[in-house]
Chains A and B, each alone.
Chain A
Amino acid sequence: MEDSTKRSWDVGLGIVGPILTVAGILIGVWQFNVGESRKAAYEHATKLWQQRVDTYSAVAKLAGKIAAPPDDKTFQQSVNEFMSAYWGDMILVEDANVEKAMIDFRTEVADFQQGRSSSDRLKIRADVLMNAFKTSVSQQAPQQ
């Protein structure tokens, strides 16, 4: 190889080498950022999903206590706690179907308290409500 050709190669590599190195670093940083962003989105979705599961579980237990109360005191206390969740935590996490089931259950409880409904009807409303919870949880599970 002639000296001039060799020199040209040296100069070319001297220019291309650092460019490739910088490009590699930039691609690496970009990949890292994309990965971190996806991870953060997944973690955020998982956190929201978990919050939804926790809230649904708490309200499911209250609905069970209302539908099958051991005594009147427990019933009234559970109704009060259910109403707190109805206007509180549930609004943050519920979807449209769960909201409808919550309204139906609440209305049935009001009817029951006024002697217009029965324990059997309350149990069925509770069943509908919990199935709505289950559907909501499975439909909105975070995807990786």
Chain B
Amino acid sequence: MQLFKARSAYKSASYLMLTLCVCAVPWVPARADDTGDAATKLTGEAGRDWLLGDVVSWMGSGDTCSSGQVYHFSKDKTVRIEDCVAGKRQVSTLAWTVKSDPPLDVLLELPDKSYKIVFYMKEGHQHLILREQGASKIDPTVDHDFVLSED
């Protein structure tokens, strides 16, 4: 009986300790962009081009290209993806939405994929990361880092 009481007391003390640890970290209101801000940042006033990597200008005239990928987000909730595959420009258009994933994340939802959105500034340029987060520790997290086209 005494052993049982001692165990119960130990269990209670453990709970208390963990609770104190939680309380020791002050809660700070989220500063994260909400879905409206994220959508506005993606599209700007009418639409915006986001270039994969730090590529500034990479498409040639006509359908020929060397490399790269451009996401053009429009206000009408479509994204035009221009991809360079085997030296030829391929264009596809998809529907997009943004969704909140509390407490901090905003997700970009495409028909076949979902990405976490991260905006940041680097050397005066607006960057966008579309992040595919691994489902477990051993699955890689893949960041697609875009820079806002200044054109």
Contact = CB atoms under 8 A, between A and B. Distances in A.
A60 interface: yes
B17 A125 contact: no
Contacts, number: 85
Contacts of A93: none
Contacts of B133: 103-104, 107
B26 interface: yes
Interface stretch (B28-36, B61-69, B78-86, B106-114): B28-36
Interface in B100-132: 103-104, 118, 120, 122, 129, 131
A111 interface: yes
A134 B22 contact: yes
A: contact size bracket: 35 or more
B: contact size bracket: 20 to 34
B129 to A, nearest CB: 8
B5 interface: no
Interface in A40-69: 46, 50, 53, 56-57, 60-61, 63-64, 67-68
A134 B18 contact: yes
Dominant secondary structure of chain A at its interface with chain B? helix
A91 B120 CA distance: 32
A130 B137 contact: no
A26 B18 CA distance: 46
B93 interface: no
30 contacts: A50-B10, A50-B14, A53-B17, A53-B18, A56-B18, A60-B18, A60-B21, A60-B22, A61-B21, A64-B21, A64-B24, A99-B137, A102-B137, A103-B136, A107-B141, A108-B104, A111-B118, A115-B122, A116-B120, A116-B129, A120-B30, A126-B25, A127-B22, A127-B25, A128-B103, A130-B22, A131-B22, A133-B18, A134-B22, A138-B15
Q: Shortest 10 CB-CB distances between A and B: which pairs?
A: A116-B120, A60-B21, A130-B22, A53-B14, A120-B28, A123-B28, A126-B25, A64-B25, A120-B31, A124-B103
Contacts of A102: 137
A136 to B, nearest CB: 10
Interface in A84-110: 86-87, 91, 99, 102-104, 107-108
Contacts of A133: 18, 22
Given A50-B14, A99-B136, A134-B19, A124 B24 contact: no
B104 A121 contact: yes
A101 B32 CA distance: 17
A134 B20 CA distance: 11
Contacts of A134: 18-19, 22
A137 B15 contact: yes
Nearest to B27: A127
